[in-house]
Amino acid sequence: MLTEIQLWAIFNGTIVTLEIAIVAIVFGAIFGVVVALGRLSKSKVANALSWFYIWFFRGTPLLLQLFIIYYAIPIIYLDATGITFEINPMICAFVAFSLNATAYLAEIIRAAIESIDGGQMEASKALGMSYRQAMTKIIIPQTYKRLVAPLGNELIMLLKDTSLVSTIALFDLLRTTKTMASATGSWIYYIYAAAIYLFLTTIIQVVFDKMEKKLGIYER
Amino acid sequence: MSMVKLVNVRKSFGDLEVLKGVNLEVQQGEVVCIIGASGSGKSTMLRCLNQLERISDGEIYIEDVLTDKRANDKDLMKIDPVTVQSLCTELGMVFQNFNLFPHLTVIDNVTIAPLIVKKTDKKIAETRALDLLSMVGLSEKKDEYPSRLSGGQQQRVAIARALAMDPKIMMFDEPTSALDPELVGEVLATMRQLAEKGMTMLIVTHEIGFAREVADRVIFMDGGVICEEGTPEEVLLNPKEERTKSFLNKIL
């Protein structure tokens, strides 16, 4: 059985995993709306910037993005200024995961907005609403229900991908249990890890299913 | 008083010219029905009035104020966008597919534009909305979502929603074409009621009987131009143009 120290270590690892996933989904959703609106914008600059953002962060491995932020940026900074600085790995993980989630969520949000019937924007305009008013009051609220399922999907992916942070000196759930397995030579710790991941993803699945039902209340 | 006026209006979508020089003036209180085959430019003409489409050439006036003047898809004069927007809200529009906001209840559909565009007080907007809903006979449905209503009921809510902005002109773009036959009557009855109250109306329709009964003037459009216009008796009963005759023969 687990000692109290091991129990606490696993608990802390789980917290690290959860924190990164939750921070990433929240910031990813907020900035994802901005990038999605950029992609839909008539402004060529906004369009190109958003396109480039998505192209880069979807087109390179998350692990590489993590390395750039954690390893490359301090070296670039050192070369440029001659000053070394200590970079907090947790902050790096928050930033890398949020930037990456933003790219994926932007595409999900863009697709959801485009799936709303064009007549909705026309009716809004005919009633005198500005583009902004039509978007915030009419179009985007109709995407919520359509966003729940892909958002839950993304959160589950993020939760599992957090295991990548073991490469930047963080002890997430997987690394904590792997260390214990190596130290004791017992495979049972992997079972504990699997059980906790499954427990968390089950909660996400149930909560998001409920949310989807609730948000779809206006549909017959 | 002239409510809307189109002068030599042309509209092209790429290589396709949909309006080929339309001139039309509608007076206050007039009910104008526009008939014609699909593709003749009827809907496009309405949509150009409130700038859902921008015209390619010509001029548009709303209440004698110039709101759009263009040539070759370019603005010929800078027109204050705030003025344009406020004049465009004088034109209420009812769509073929209703386009109600599905995530809002019936009453919220009716109040949302006054609340966010005109910044009307919530109490006042709701009282007005209830009046309008009772006028279209749907006050008991005020807390339902649109998906729970029949097509005819949805279209009546859409009429109430447009009226909530106190438009001076109501435009109807084939308002009964998406309805089951047994639901057409209730929508036409609501429109008739509006006409009797003296509302200026521009109606694109295939309901010839309704046009005969309600219209002050009937316009027959064909190939992007107004082919024939006159009183319902003139255009619908004794058409002069061959194209009008053959169209009426096909649909009657």
CA dist B210 and A199 (Å) reads 64
A139-143, B72-76, B138-142, range with the lowest pLDDT: B72-76
| pLDDT tens-digit series, residues A108-160 | 999 999 999 999 999 999 999 999 999 999 999 999 999 999 999 999 999 99
A84-93, A113-122, B104-113, B161-170, range with the lowest pLDDT: A84-93
Q: Which run of H or of E encompasses B169?
A: strand B169-173
The B2-13 sheet, strands edge to edge: B16-27, B2-13, B57-62, B65-71, B74-75
Q: Which pLDDT belongs to residue A220?
A: 64
- Single out the residue of B226, B225, B221, B220 nearest to residue B238, CA to CA: B220
A7-11, A82-86, B118-122, B200-204, range with the lowest pLDDT: A82-86
| Residues 137-166, chain A, touching B (beta carbon < 8 A) | 137-138, 141-142
Share of chain A above pLDDT 70, in %: 100
Share of chain B above pLDDT 90, in %: 87
Closest residue to A142, CB basis, from B50, B102, B165: B102
Q: Is the dihedral of CA B122, B125, B131, B136 positive or negative?
A: negative
Closest residue to B52, CB basis, from A120, A125, A142: A125
CA–CA–CA angle B213, B214, B216 (5° rounding): 110
**Number of CB atoms found within 10 A of residue B76's CB:** 14
Question: Position of tokens 């406020």?
Answer: B86
A168-172, B34-38, B80-84, B248-252, range with the lowest pLDDT: B80-84
The more confident residue out of A165 and B83 is: A165
Report helix, strand or coil for B10: strand
Q: Which residues contact B45 (CB under 8 A, 6 or more apart)?
A: B6, B9, B19, B22, B24, B34, B221
Our CA dihedral for A168, A171, A172, A178, rounded to 10 degrees, sits at 110
Estimate the crossing angle of helix B122-135 against helix B151-163, to 10 degrees.
130
Segment A185-197 shows an average pLDDT of: 94
Q: Does B252 touch chain A (CB under 8 A)?
A: no
| pLDDT tens-digit series, residues A25-36 | 999 999 999 999
Closest CA in chain B for residue A215: B103
- Are the beta carbons of B215 and B31 closer than 8 angstroms? yes
B21 phi/psi in degrees, rounded to 5: 95, 80
What tokens appear for B143 in the block? 């807390």
Which residues on chain B are in Cβ contact (under 8 Å) with A216? none
CA dist B136 and B147 (Å) reads 18
B60-69, B94-103, B130-139, range with the lowest pLDDT: B60-69
Q: Which pLDDT belongs to residue A132?
A: 92
pLDDT at B86 over 90: no
Q: Does B97 touch chain A (CB under 8 A)?
A: yes
Report helix, strand or coil for B167: coil
Q: Does A214 touch chain B (CB under 8 A)?
A: no
CA dist B110 and B114 (Å) reads 8
Size of interface A-B (CB pairs under 8 A): 66
Are residues A218 and B161, on separate chains, in Cβ contact within 8 Å? no
Q: Does B165 touch chain A (CB under 8 A)?
A: yes
Query: How far from chain centre, in Å, is Cα B169?
Result: 8
CA dist A40 and A131 (Å) reads 12
CA end-to-end distance (rounded Å), chain A:
52
- Single out the residue of A177, A184, A164 nearest to residue A89, CA to CA: A164
Q: Is the dihedral of CA A127, B86, B30, B250 positive or negative?
A: negative
**Number of CB atoms found within 10 A of residue A53's CB:** 19
Are residues B52 and A126, on separate chains, in Cβ contact within 8 Å? yes
- Are the beta carbons of A88 and A190 closer than 8 angstroms? no
- Single out the residue of B37, B79, B77 nearest to residue B205, CA to CA: B37
In Å, how far is B181's CA from the nearest CA of chain A?
A: 23
CA dist A128 and B62 (Å) reads 15
CA–CA–CA angle A82, A88, A92 (5° rounding): 100
Are residues B145 and A142, on separate chains, in Cβ contact within 8 Å? no
- Are the beta carbons of B175 and B96 closer than 8 angstroms? yes
Closest residue to A129, CB basis, from B51, B100, B116: B116
In Å, how far is B234's CA from the nearest CA of chain A?
A: 33
Q: For the whole model, what pTM was predicted?
A: 0.86
CA end-to-end distance (rounded Å), chain B:
35
pLDDT at B230 over 80: yes
pLDDT bucket at B233, cuts 50 / 70 / 90: very high
| pLDDT tens-digit series, residues B7-31 | 999 999 999 999 999 999 999 999 9
Q: Which pLDDT belongs to residue A84?
A: 83
Task: Note the ipTM here.
Answer: 0.92
Q: Does A119 touch chain B (CB under 8 A)?
A: yes
Tell me how far CA of residue B248 lies from CA of A134, B172, B176, B199, B231, in angstroms.
Answer: 40, 21, 18, 27, 15
CA dist B114 and B131 (Å) reads 14
Residue B91 one-letter amino acid: L
